[in-house]
Amino acid sequence: MKVKSIEFLNYKNINKYIHSFGRESAYDTPLFKILFWRRLKYFIKVILKLQNLCKTEFRKVLDIGFNLGHFSLNYGTINPKAELYGLDIKYKEKYERRFIIQLFKKFSINFNIVIQDIQEKSFFQDEFFDLIVAFDVLEHVKSPKLALDEIKRILKNDGILLISVPIESKLLRFFKIFYKKTVKQDLNLENHWQGEIPSFKEFDKLVKKEFRLIYNQYYPFKNFPSIFSYDILYILSKNQ
């Protein structure tokens, strides 16, 4: 099922605001920046397809590890009736919070910032959200199992969970080292998996145990072996 083209706010639209914070990362480099924004746009298209298939709109949405709200900003412009929550463990600097609030107000998006560790029980009621997304977040937490338990509690029985985590393939690591040495760009070469789960293979076992797998694919090359990818996307629902 095809989804019509969407009005997408990428780094060209909001880059001047993001860089005013002095935020530099691998996603600011020419190649990884393109991959990051294309991946985000692709994920939003996947969500729109899910809405079409389910014949509903995801009204209550949680964006875990929302950073500067890239996903929520774009999803909110497409689905203005959505009640969006951005959850992050880090307390934003006042000027960052002010920027985020003003940016969402500019587009009349209902966005609520929640400072909370997803590994702990939040104030949200049971079965509160229609859609929960966690893009490249759960590899950073100490206990992905605790995070998934809380996600399961606050996700509706017919809700959808989207997760992406890095592959950390040897080929990608080699490419990063090569890129860093040739382009002289400061890239973080440390393993992304920083908690009790050491790799995406272990996470794969855990997430399939805790949730029902609807679909998964490697990104950016879904038909290629994992060695050629840097992310894997999961579409999940609760075990009934």
Query: What is the spatial distance between Cα 23 and Cα 88, in angstroms, rounded to a whole number?
Result: 17
Whether domain 18-238 has CATH 3.40.50.150? yes
pLDDT digit string, tens, across residues 59-80 = 999 999 987 788 998 899 888 8
pLDDT digit string, tens, across residues 108-118 = 889 999 999 99
User: Which of 77-81, 112-116, 220-224, 236-240 shows the lowest per-residue confidence on average (mean pLDDT)?
Assistant: 220-224
Q: Where do runs of H (alpha helix) occur along the chain?
A: 11-18, 30-54, 70-78, 94-106, 144-154, 170-183, 200-210
Q: Is the pLDDT of residue 186 over 70?
A: no
For 110, the token pair is 């209902």
User: Which of 16-30, 74-88, 171-185 shows the lowest per-residue confidence on average (mean pLDDT)?
Assistant: 16-30
What proportion of the chain, given as a percentage, has pLDDT over 90?
38
* pLDDT given for residue 28 in this prediction: 58
Structural domain spans, the chain: 18-238
* pLDDT given for residue 163 in this prediction: 96
Q: Is the pLDDT of residue 24 over 70?
A: no
Tokens 């985590």 label which residue?
A: 165
Mean pLDDT value of segment 17-27: 51
Taking Cα atoms as reference points, which of 159, 131, 123, 137 lies closest to residue 239?
Answer: 159
* pLDDT given for residue 127 in this prediction: 97
Mean pLDDT, the chain, whole residue set: 81
For 104, the token pair is 């969402």
Beta bridge partners of 164: 135, 233
Comparing 66 with 36, the larger pLDDT belongs to 66
Contacts of 170-179 with C-beta under 8 Å, sequence gap 24+, read 170/227, 171/227, 171/228, 172/229, 172/230, 179/29, 179/31
